[in-house]
Amino acid sequence: MEALAEGELESGTSLNQEVDLGEFESDSDRRAEAIRILKWLKSFDFVFCLHLMIDILGVTDHLNTILQRKDQDIINVMNQVSSSKKAIQEIRDIGWEPLLEKVTLFCAKNEVKVVDLEYEYFNGYSRRRGSQVNNLHHYQVDVFKEVIDMQLQELNHCFNEANTNLFFCIACLCPSESFKAFDLQKIMKMASLYLEEFPTEYDLRVLEVELGNYIKDVREDERFNDLKSIGDLVKKMVEEKKHIIFPKIYLLMKLALILPVATASVERAFSAMKLIKTDIRNKMSDRFLSDSLVSYMEKNVLKGIGNDAIVTMFQDIRPRRVQL
């Protein structure tokens, strides 16, 4: 209006209508959306879920931070996994009343209406006809316990009894504190899982004898005193030619080192597949899918390859009528 009054815009039929109308509709839509979001943020439902996730994420975020650390040993990691499971289970068992109290105090402080837990649950759209579910049942069972059970199920899936025991067995190879974690029986249990590398009872028996000689050797060797991880131990064994003296133990250590990498690679591959093979591109061949997955997963390596090198490679694959 100011631009029209000052002559900066021409007035007339069909002039300025699209801009003015569009801005008005956009502002109106944003205003309505902001009001809707604000109303939701000030609801008891949002406050309750927010406090619940603070309690749960307080446990899982700490565990995630520990799992990300490269200098963390396996024993401490598995102990933290066990502690996290117990902490989440404790929230489920005795955490309802403290959570409800925190939510109620927060609502009172910030002028958020607290729902009556004895009233029938209403989701904001329609009441559940014929249902006897009240607010107490909804928030305690359908939200609180169900969310916690999902977290526990995910942890148990990632760290079930089988792979937890395997990681504890791997930890027995750790050289820290003069091979304090060494446990012959657990290491033999780990070896028995690799049937291709140790297919017979004779192979396991040879490994058991080799382990007995190995632990006496490295504990008496000062060159192995200050090692902290299995990776350091493998390097030192190669440097001192002990991988030749104890070949089966060296093989077992290599298996222990590649296990986390192999597991992570599989997870990365499935994650990448969800991005690459979508509903639109669900008919791509296996070869093209494999090449695309490698390109996606190793994108940091491919960044160092110039376009000219790629063009030259394709040009040299077979004779072409034109130069690429």
**Residues 145 and 48 both lie in one domain:** yes
Condensed to tens digits (0 to 9), the pLDDT of residues 160-175 reads 777 777 888 888 888 8
230 within some domain: yes
**Residues 254 and 281 both lie in one domain:** no
297 pLDDT band, cuts 50/70/90, is: confident
258 within some domain: yes
285 pLDDT band, cuts 50/70/90, is: confident
Output the pTM of the full model: 0.56
288 within some domain: yes
**Among residues 262, 285, 316, which one ends one of the domains?**
262
**Residues 137 and 104 both lie in one domain:** yes
141 within some domain: yes
Say if residue 191's pLDDT is above 50: yes
How many angstroms separate the Cα of 151 from the Cα of each of 80, 154, 157, 217, 268? 15, 5, 10, 45, 21
**Among residues 216, 231, 262, which one ends one of the domains?**
262
**Residues 255 and 299 both lie in one domain:** no
pLDDT of amino acid 36: 86
> For the chain, what is the radius of gyration of the CA atoms?
31
Helix, strand, coil shares of the chain, percent, nearest 5, are 70, 0, 30
**140 closest CA partner among 6, 238, 239, 48:** 48
Q: Which residues contact 170 (CB under 8 A, 6 or more apart)?
A: 74, 190, 230, 256, 259
3-class secondary structure, 134: strand
**Residues 245 and 135 both lie in one domain:** no
**Residues 257 and 282 both lie in one domain:** no
Q: Are 56 and 91 in contact (CB under 8 A)?
A: yes
Q: How many domains does the chain fold into? A: 3
**Residues 316 and 245 both lie in one domain:** no
194 within some domain: yes
**Residues 281 and 240 both lie in one domain:** no
17 within some domain: no
Higher-scoring residue by pLDDT: 4, 40: 40
**Residues 91 and 153 both lie in one domain:** yes
Q: Per residue in 253-285, is it b (16+ CB within 10 Å) or e — as a string?
A: bebbbeeeeeeeeeeeeeebeeeebeeeeeeee
244 pLDDT band, cuts 50/70/90, is: very high
**Among residues 99, 132, 159, which one ends one of the domains?**
159
In the chain, pLDDT over 90 holds for what percent of residues?
Answer: 31
250 within some domain: yes
Q: Are 115 and 44 in contact (CB under 8 A)?
A: yes
288 pLDDT band, cuts 50/70/90, is: confident
**Residues 51 and 97 both lie in one domain:** yes
Largest Cα–Cα distance in the chain? 99
Say if residue 70's pLDDT is above 70: no
pLDDT of amino acid 157: 82
Average pLDDT of the chain, as a whole number: 81
**Residues 65 and 105 both lie in one domain:** yes
Among 55-59, 71-75, 140-144, 187-191, name the one with the lowest average pLDDT.
71-75
Condensed to tens digits (0 to 9), the pLDDT of residues 8-43 reads 655 555 555 544 445 445 678 888 888 888 888 889
132 within some domain: yes
128 Rama class: left (phi>0) / alpha (psi -120 to 50) / beta: beta
Q: Provide the residue range defining the domain that includes 191.
A: 178-262
**Residues 97 and 190 both lie in one domain:** no
